[in-house]
A and B are shown apart, each in its own frame.
Chain A
Amino acid sequence: MSTTASTAPEAGASDRAGASRRSGTFYRGDPGMWSWVAHRVTGVLTFFFLFVHVLDTALVRVSPNAYDEVIETYKTPFVNLLEVGLVGAVLYHALNGIRVILVDFWEKGPKYQRPMLWTTLGIWVLVMIPGTYFMLARTVSEMFGGGH
Chain B
Amino acid sequence: MSESLTLDKPRSPRRPAARRNNFELYSWAFMRISGLALVILVLGHLFIMNILDGGVHRINFAFVAGRWSSPFWQFWDLAMLWLAQLHGGNGLRTIIDDYARKDTTRFWLKMLLYVAMAVILVLGTLVIFTFDPNITA
Chain A residues within CB distance 8 Å of chain B: 2-4, 40, 43-44, 46-47, 50-51, 54-55, 57-58, 60-61, 63-65, 67-68, 71, 74-75, 80, 83, 86-87, 90-91, 94, 97-98, 100-101, 104-105, 131, 134-135, 138
Is residue B25 within 8 Å, beta carbon to beta carbon, of the partner chain? no
CB distance from A97 to the nearest CB of B (A): 5
Instruction: Choose among A43, A65, A98, A134 the residue that contacts B137 (Cβ–Cβ < 8 A).
Output: A65
Q: Does B51 touch A at the CB level, under 8 Å?
A: yes
Report whether A97 and B35 are in contact in the complex, using a CB–CB cutoff of 8 Å: yes
Q: How many A-B residue pairs have CB under 8 A?
A: 107
Whether A61 and B130, one on each chain, are in contact in the complex, defined by CB atoms closer than 8 angstroms, is yes
Counting contact residues on chain B (CB < 8 A from A), the size range is 35 or more
CA distance A83 to B132 in the complex (A): 28
Q: Is B60 an interface residue, CB under 8 A from the partner?
A: yes
Is the CB–CB distance between B123 and A54 below 8 Å? yes
Residue of A43, A51, A64 most packed against chain B (CB within 10 A):
A64
Given A60-B61, A91-B43, A134-B55: A44 and B98 within 8 A (CB)?
Answer: no
Bound-complex Cα distance A69 to B89 (A): 29
When chains A and B are docked, how far (Å) is the Cα of A47 from the Cα of B88?
6
Once bound together, how far apart are the Cα atoms of A50 and B51, in whole Å? 18
B92→A57 contact, CB < 8 A:
no
1/0 per position for B115-130, CB-CB distance to A under 8 A?
0100010011011001
Binary CB contact string for chain B from 14 to 47 against chain A (1 if under 8 A, 0 otherwise) = 0000000000000000001001101100110010
> Nearest residue in B to A104 (C-beta to C-beta)?
B32
Task: Enumerate chain B residues within 8 angstroms of A4, measured Cβ to Cβ.
Answer: 98-99
